[in-house]
Chains A and B, each alone.
Chain A
Amino acid sequence: MSVQAAPPLEERQKPPRRRKRSAALYEVVLPLIATACLFLLWEGAVRAFNIPGYLLPAPTDIWKDTMAIGPTVAGHTMATFKTVMLGFVASILISLPLAVVLTASPTIAAAVYPFLVWTQSIPKVALAPILVVLLGTNELPRIVITVLVAFFPLVISIATGLLSVPPELIELSRACRASKMSELLRIRLPYAIPFIFAGLKVAISLAVVGAVVAEFVNADAGLGFLIQTSTAFFKVPVAFGALIILSVMGVVLFQIVVAAERVFFPWSSSNTTPGT
Chain B
Amino acid sequence: MISLNRVTRVFNSRDGDQVTALQDVSLEIGRNEFITLVGPSGCGKSTLLRIVAGLILPTAGRASIGGEEITEPRAETGIVFQAPTLLPWASVLDNVLFPLRMMHRIDSGSTDKAMALLKLVGLNGFESKSPRELSGGMQQRVAICRALVHDPDILLMDEPFGALDALTREEMTMELLRIWGERPKTVLFVTHSITEAVVLADRVVVMSPRPGRIAEIIEIGLPRPRSFESEATPEFHQASQHIRQLIFGTRHVGSGRAAA
Check if B85 sits within 8 Å of A175, measured CB to CB: no
Given A171-B55, A274-B130, verify A178-B102 contact (CB < 8 Å).
Answer: yes
Provide the residues of chain A in CB contact with B101, threshold 8 Å. 186
B184 — which chain A residues lie within 8 A by C-beta? Answer: none
B59 to nearest A CB, angstroms?
19
Chain B: CB-nearest residue to A265: B89
A229 interface hit (Cβ, 8 Å): no
Q: Give the nearest-CB partner of B72 in chain A.
A: A177
* B85-A172 in contact (CB<8A): yes
Q: Counting chain B CB atoms within 10 Å of each CB, which of A173, A177, A187, A190 scores highest?
A: A177
Question: In the complex the two chains form, is B89's CB within 8 Å of A190's CB?
Answer: yes
User: Which residues of chain B (51-91) have a CB below 8 Å from chain A?
Assistant: 53-55, 72-73, 75, 77, 79, 81-83, 85, 87-89
Contact B89 A176 (CB under 8 A): no
Of B81, B82, B87, which one neighbours A190 at CB under 8 angstroms?
B87
- Among B72, B79, B88, B130, the residue within 8 A (CB) of A172 is B79
Whether B133 sits at the interface, judged by CB under 8 Å, is: yes
The answer to whether B83 touches A168, judged by C-beta atoms less than 8 angstroms apart, is yes
Contacts of B73 in A (CB 8 A): 174-177
Closest chain B CB from A139 CB (angstroms): 37
- Smallest Cβ-Cβ distance to A178: which chain B residue: B102
Query: Hey, which chain B residues are within 8 Å of A173, CB to CB?
Result: 102
Across the two chains, which residue of chain B brings its CB closest to A182? B102
Residues of A within 8 Å of B83, CB to CB, are: 166, 168
A125-136 Cβ-contact flags toward B at 8 Å (1 or 0) = 000000000000
Q: Mark A149-168, 1 if CB is under 8 A from B, else 0.
A: 00000000000000000101
A267 to B89, Cβ gap below 8 A? yes
Are B77 and A175 neighbours in the complex by a CB distance under 8 Å?
yes
Complex contacts, A52 vs chain B, CB 8 Å: none
Bound form: Cα–Cα A33–B75 in Å: 63
Tell me if B103 is interfacial: C-beta within 8 Å of chain A: yes
- Chain A residue contacts of B79, Cβ below 8 A: 171-172, 175
Chain B hits for A177, CB < 8 A? 72-73, 75, 102-103
Kindly identify which residue among A175, A182, A274 contacts B53, using a CB–CB cutoff of 8 Å. Answer: A175
Give A174 Cβ to nearest chain B Cβ, in Å.
Answer: 6
Give A177 to B71 CA distance when docked, in angstroms: 12
A63 CB, nearest partner CB in chain B, Å: 46
> Could you tell me if B54 and A268 are in contact, using CB atoms closer than 8 angstroms?
no
B132 within 8 A of A: yes
Q: Given A186-B102, A267-B89, A175–B54 Cβ distance below 8 Å?
A: yes
Say whether, besides A166-B83, A174-B73, A177-B72, A267 and B99 are in contact (CB < 8 Å): no
Q: Are A175 and B55 in contact (CB under 8 A)?
A: yes
Task: Report how many residues on chain A are interfacial, defined by Cβ distance under 8 Å.
Answer: 22
A99 at interface by CB-CB < 8 Å: no
Indicate if A223 sits at the interface (CB-CB under 8 A). no
Q: In whole angstroms, how far apart are the Cα atoms of A186 and B100 in the complex?
A: 12
Nearest A residue to B56 via CB reads A171
Tell me, yes or no, whether A169 is within 8 Å of chain B by CB: yes
A193, B55: Cβ atoms under 8 Å? Answer: no
Shortest C-beta distance, B253 to chain A (Å), equals: 37
Task: Give the chain A neighbours of B99 by CB distance below 8 A.
Answer: 172, 175-176
Taking a contact as CB atoms closer than 8 A, the residue among A174, A187, A274 that contacts B133 in the complex is: A274
A173-B102, A175-B54 in contact; A166/B85 too (CB < 8 A)?
yes
Return chain A residues, CB-CB under 8 Å to B50: 171
Is the CB–CB distance between B85 and A193 below 8 Å? no
Question: Chain B contacts of A187 at CB under 8 A?
Answer: 87
> Which residues of A9-56 are within 8 A (CB) of B?
none
Most buried by A among B73, B77, B99, B101: B73
Whether B85 and A267, one on each chain, are in contact in the complex, defined by CB atoms closer than 8 angstroms, is: no
> A177: shortest Cβ distance to chain B, in Å?
6
Q: Name the A residues within 8 Å of B55 (CB-CB).
A: 171, 174-175
Instruction: Closest B residue to A165 by CB, please name it.
Output: B85
Is B89 touching A268 in the complex (CB atoms < 8 A)? yes
Those of A176-206 within 8 Å (CB) of chain B: 176-178, 182, 186-187, 190-191, 193
Q: Is the CB of A169 within 8 A of B89?
A: no
A168 to B82, CA, bound (A): 9
Indicate whether A178 sits within 8 Å of B103 (C-beta atoms), given known contacts A168-B83, A267-B88.
yes
Q: List 12 A-B contacts (CB under 8 A).
A: A168-B82, A168-B83, A169-B85, A171-B79, A171-B81, A172-B81, A172-B98, A175-B53, A176-B99, A176-B103, A177-B73, A178-B102
List 7 A-B pairs, minimum CB-CB distance, nearest first.
Answer: A176-B102, A178-B102, A168-B81, A175-B73, A168-B85, A267-B89, A166-B85
Using A172-B99, A175-B77, A190-B89 as known contacts, list a sample of 10 further A-B pairs with CB atoms less than 8 Å apart, ordered by residue number in A.
Answer: A168-B82, A171-B53, A174-B73, A175-B54, A175-B73, A177-B102, A187-B87, A191-B87, A267-B130, A274-B133
